[in-house]
């Protein structure tokens, strides 16, 4: 059974800092890995999708990497802003039929002005 | 259109009420999902529809009844809910395909409170 772990559970940084969020998964037989952002009481916004054959994806100040063999992904946020404050969820798509999307418990990020 | 639209955004219902949650997408996705999310927890899968047929039911109580009337719409019918069913209900959609490399698109959710 796929298990996804996110470290740290919470992170507080001053505005302008670069930061890294970590995600690890136990079964390397994945189809893709997706990073989401969730604001309190809101839905999930997809940030980046990395296919199993890819090593990284970039969107603006965000960069996500994937090392499938070691079961790890990182989300790098450059020049953090207060508006980046949210919970970041890592989710892995795997399993027979490919309908299994396994989530980590998330990292709650606070960017202090 | 790259969105999943959920209505209503908020719902308060009594334990004897019957209500429905609605979800709509026009991205041509043929897989649609219902997730339940409790506070400070990740989303938990409830149901999966593939080509309008129920393909996964994660042992959800019968007081939750899903329906997929066409390829763009997904409903969740609620009846005789309990206070512990209060949660954020999320709808999602994706393309279908064995070993699909496509991502999921989520809606903004319905905040359900059972009183």
Q: Which chain B residues are Cβ-neighbours of A90 within 8 angstroms?
A: none
Report DSSP letters for A91-105, one per residue. EEEESGGG-EEEE--
B100 reaches A (C-beta below 8 A): yes
Nearest to B42 among A43, A89, A99 (CB): A89
Positions of chain B with pLDDT under 50? none
What is the structure's pLDDT at A98? Answer: 60
Would the CB atoms of B98 and A32 count as touching at under 8 Å?
A: no
What is the structure's pLDDT at B1? Answer: 73
pLDDT tens figures, A39-50: 998 999 999 999
pLDDT tens figures, B9-40: 999 999 999 999 999 999 999 999 999 999 99
What is the structure's pLDDT at A96? Answer: 61
The two three-digit tokens of residue B101, written as one number: 């490399």
Å from A91 to nearest chain B CA?
Answer: 10
Q: Which residues contact B113 (CB under 8 A, 6 or more apart)?
A: B10, B11, B12, B13, B86
What is the structure's pLDDT at B99? Answer: 54
Nearest to A44 among B45, B90, B102 (CB): B90
pLDDT exceeds cutoff 60 at A59: yes
CA dist B25 and B32 (Å) reads: 9
What is the structure's pLDDT at B100? Answer: 57
What is the structure's pLDDT at A97? Answer: 62
What is the structure's pLDDT at A60? Answer: 97
């Amino acid at each position: 059974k796929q298990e996804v772990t996110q470290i740290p559970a919470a992170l507080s940084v001053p505005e302008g800092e670069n930061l890294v969020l970590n995600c690890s998964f136990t079964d390397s037989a994945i189809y893709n890995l997706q990073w989401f952002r969730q604001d309190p009481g809101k839905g999930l916004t997809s940030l980046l999708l990395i296919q199993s054959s890819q090593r990284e994806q970039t969107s603006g100040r965000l960069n996500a990497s994937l090392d499938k063999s070691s079961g790890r992904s990182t989300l790098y946020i450059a020049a953090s802003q207060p508006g980046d404050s949210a919970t970041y969820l890592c989710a892995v798509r795997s399993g027979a039929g490919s309908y299994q999307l396994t989530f980590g418990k998330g990292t709650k990020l606070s960017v202090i002005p | 259109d790259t969105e999943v639209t959920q209505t209503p955004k908020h719902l308060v219902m009594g334990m004897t009420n019957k209500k429905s949650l609605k979800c709509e997408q026009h991205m041509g996705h043929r897989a649609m999902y219902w997730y339940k999310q409790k506070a400070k927890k990740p989303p938990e899968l409830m149901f999966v529809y593939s080509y309008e047929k129920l393909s996964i039911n994660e042992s959800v109580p019968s007081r939750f009844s899903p329906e997929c009337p066409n390829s763009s719409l997904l409903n969740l019918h609620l009846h005789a809910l309990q206070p512990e069913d209060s949660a954020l209900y999320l709808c999602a959609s994706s393309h279908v395909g064995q070993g699909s490399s496509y991502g999921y698109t989520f809606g903004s959710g319905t905040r359900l409170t059972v009183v």
